[in-house]
Amino acid sequence: MVTQESVLQKRFSLSELVDTESFKEVFQSFAELYRVGVKVFDGQGTKLVDVRVGNADFCGYLFQFGPTQQRCTALVQQLKSKDWWSEQEGPEMPCTVNCFSGLRYVVLPLVHEGEFMGRVIFGPFVPQANPEPSPLLRQLEPKLEAARLEQLMAPVRKAPDDVIQKVVEQMRKVVDVILFTSYRAMMVSQMHIESVTTAYQDLVEKNRRVEEANERLKEMDKLKSSFLATVSHELRTPLTSVIGYSEMLLEGMAGEMTSEQKEYVTTIMEKGESLLKLITSILDLSRIESGNLKLNLVDVDLYEVIKAAHTSVVPQAQKKKLTLKLDLDPGLPRIVGDGDKIRQILINLLGNSVKFTPEGGTITLRVKNFFGRRKSPLKTQDATGGAELFAIAEESFVRVEVEDTGIGIPADKLTKVFESFYQVDSSSTREHGGTGLGLSIVKSFVDAHKGDVWVESTLGKGATFVVLLPVERP
Amino acid sequence: MVQLNLSQREIILKLVYYGPALSGKTTNLQVIYQMLDPKSRGRLMTLDTADDRTLFFDLLPIFFKTNAGFKVKLKLYTVPGQVMHNSTRRIVLAGADGVVFVADSQLREAKANNDAWKGMVENLKQNGLDVEDIPIVIQFNKRDLPDIRSDEEIEKIRQTGREPVFKAVAVEGKGVLETLYAVLKASFQALNTKHDFERKFGLQERDFLRAIFKNVDLKTRGINLGEDLA
């Protein structure tokens, strides 16, 4: 969470934005060029620039007498702080302010992004159209001498209003550029600091979380390992005896048995062995479901994995007189994954097809490069409407298909086959055997690889299981 | 988060253009800068690198006074799209009153769009904002390029999603003001519900929108933003 006030919300005053000394120099040169004085105040009324040209003696003379001094002080106060622009619509324009002495000022607001930053007071100058000291002066203070007033006013710059307007406009543009450039520079430097600070805080926080998680995982890993070891030992030890003694009985070590007895003991031994397999599968699954499924990520050579899986199902297939076909792209990429798990995926799918394909059927293992979309979007933790909407990107996959000519799966059961302990028809358990865990393990392993798996089927004609394994880990 | 300065009679709103790299966020702001009345907008500030990629953000201020004498200031920001600038994106997104998500219509950019969207949701969360609470408008930009999402797909997104969806060719100025108008309207309504702008500040939605689009020649540009501006 970003808590400290960002530079984006901060308001800068004029003196924070500009370098005051350089700013003064700019106005100094304006004043020298046009021979008119300039003052600059910031938004709070603090004077930043004060350049006087030509009017010092004239104004000093007026300041010597009470009434004119009062008027002078009042005018200066007004120039400095009055909001001349409150009645204006839109961008604030310069205002002309007449001094009681007959001189004139132009007050220019400094506005940046619609924000009042300060004001420039340009003047005084003598209006060309009326270049005399005001008659009001001598009414206010009869001691003022007319000749002296005229003499002192002479050095003050005379200018027509339109010239002054142009000068002020020029000044406004220059100041505008200075403000914009300063603001921009300020933003760049402040944003540098802010983004580095934020990135640093992120890293600190991430490190802390990684450390915590690491500690927790280590502890859980220990617990899990000891639990699994105990359970597997406790379950398997008696079972090994059951199987072992059955074997000994069958071998006649306790004397000859009748054929009926042999048949019974054979059943005990076979069922014992399938129970052992079941326990092994359940241990696999419990590891997966407790989230402790760890992928041992390495560069996987798919050809090796495919070969190994293929070899291990050949005997079963031959027993049922099934044809096992391989159809591989010659240019399969190496992918980052867990070779053992991928092999298990293939073995389970092939074993499943062998189980449900009647004698004389065909099973095809097809592995191809594929660029396209997933069938079901990858689950993300914070999937909102928008994220779902955008989840239509195409990616590079290795596409594995296991096609058989077996009994097929009804359309309404196509997704259920991946659930644990599910079999399409409970009677098929008796006919085909198995635990109903094979496909659920396939799904877990595919999910762990951030892939996608589904099945397509025509009832009675066969089924095709499709697995997409992403080439790059998403 | 809107900044309300009652003593200075001032309202400051923040809108952020978010999206993947090179989707046209800066272009949107450039078009708005060109089309709006120069009297009601400031300079477009661009903080970019030598190769014209946004480094921190672009900023376009828009300001006007309401009839009731309130100063309204809108700050339109873009975020830098490149992946590495995430912390800057989060800073810029902080306190946003509305977001325009500029998506790239090209098929090959679908993943970049997804990632940017996810990043935005996460960054909003980090800033204490909920994606459900903040007005968001989606713009599918670059409709003039080949190999893009079809109109049907965009229509589907429009119908299934919560967010208003617009199509745009920002380089030609198409769809830019429409998007801006929609996000302004949605943001105003959200803030009005929360802060009662109409009653407290005498600021009507219609006047708000009209002030921003004042003197914009919508007719000759063939843009229809609805009855509010008619």
Q: Cβ B47–A187 below 8 Å, yes or no?
A: yes
pLDDT, tens digit, for every residue of A55-110? 889 999 999 998 999 999 999 888 888 777 766 655 568 888 999 999 999 999 88
Mean pLDDT of chain A: 84
pLDDT at A419: 76
pLDDT, tens digit, for every residue of B99-152? 999 999 999 999 999 999 999 999 999 999 888 889 999 999 999 999 999 999
**pLDDT above 90 as % of chain B:** 56
With b for 16 or more beta-carbon neighbours within 10 A and e for fewer, the A424-452 pattern comes to: beeeeeeeeebbbbbbbbbbbbbbebbbb
Q: Which amino acid is at A461?
A: K
pLDDT at B175: 95
Contact B169, B86 (CB under 8 A): no
Split at pLDDT 50, 70, 90, the class of A291 is: low
pLDDT, tens digit, for every residue of B53-85? 888 899 999 988 877 778 889 999 999 988 888
pLDDT at B222: 82
Nearest to A360 by CA among A404, A326, A306: A404
Least Cα separation, residue B111 to chain A (angstroms): 5
pLDDT score of A1 more than 50: no
Q: Cβ A188–B107 below 8 Å, yes or no?
A: no
Split at pLDDT 50, 70, 90, the class of A390 is: low
Nearest to B41 by CA among B79, B69, B72: B72
Split at pLDDT 50, 70, 90, the class of A2 is: very low
Q: Which amino acid is at A4?
A: Q
Split at pLDDT 50, 70, 90, the class of B30 is: very high
Q: What's the predicted TM-score (pTM) here?
A: 0.65
Q: Cβ A382–B118 below 8 Å, yes or no?
A: yes
Of A6, A114, A393, the CB nearest to B42: A114
Q: Cβ A386–B136 below 8 Å, yes or no?
A: yes
* Selected residues 190-229 of chain B with any CB under 8 Å from a CB in chain A: none
The three state secondary structure string of chain B is CCEEECCCCEEEEEEEEECCCCCCHHHHHHHHHHHCCHHHECCCEEEECCCCCEEEEEEEEEEEECCCCCEEEEEEEECCCCHHHHHHHHHHHCCCCEEEEEEECEHHHHHHHHHHHHHHHHHHHHCCCCCCCCCEEEEEECCCCCCECCHHHHHHHHHHCCCCEEECEHHHCECHHHHHHHHHHHHHHHHHHHHCHHHHHCCCHHHHHHHHCCCCCCCCCCCCCCHHHC
* Selected residues 4-63 of chain A with any CB under 8 Å from a CB in chain B: 6, 8-9
Mean pLDDT of A350-376: 89
pLDDT, tens digit, for every residue of B186-204? 999 999 999 888 888 888 8
pLDDT at A404: 93
pLDDT score of A210 more than 90: yes
Least Cα separation, residue B39 to chain A (angstroms): 7
Q: Please name the residue of chain B whose CA is at the shortest distance from the CA of residue A201.
A: B87
Q: Cβ A187–B56 below 8 Å, yes or no?
A: yes
* Cα A304 to Cα A311, A469, A472, distances in angstroms: 11, 16, 19
CA A416 – CA A471 distance, rounded (Å): 27
Q: Please name the residue of chain A whose CA is at the shortest distance from the CA of residue B131.
A: A384
Residue pairs spanning A and B at CB distance below 8 A: 112
Mean pLDDT of A165-194: 89
Of A113, A188, A395, the CB nearest to B56: A188
Kindly list the residues from chain A whose CB atom is less than 8 angstroms away from the CB atom of residue B91. 2, 6, 8, 191, 194-195, 198
End-to-end CA distance of chain A: 26
Burial (CB count within 10 angstroms: exposed 0-12, middle 13-18, buried 19+), residue A80: middle
* Selected residues 142-181 of chain B with any CB under 8 Å from a CB in chain A: 153, 157, 160-163
pLDDT at A423: 62
pLDDT, tens digit, for every residue of A264-280? 999 998 888 888 877 77
Residue with tokens 């406790």: A234
Residue with tokens 């079941």: A278
pLDDT at A203: 92
B4 touches chain A (CB under 8 A): no
Contact B180, B32 (CB under 8 A): yes
pLDDT score of A120 more than 60: yes
How many other C-beta atoms are found inside a 10 Å radius of the C-beta of residue B83?
A: 13
Nearest to B135 by CA among B194, B66, B206: B194
pLDDT, tens digit, for every residue of A428-469? 554 555 556 788 888 888 988 888 999 999 888 899 999 999
Q: Which amino acid is at A201?
A: Q
Contact B105, B75 (CB under 8 A): no
pLDDT at A430: 46
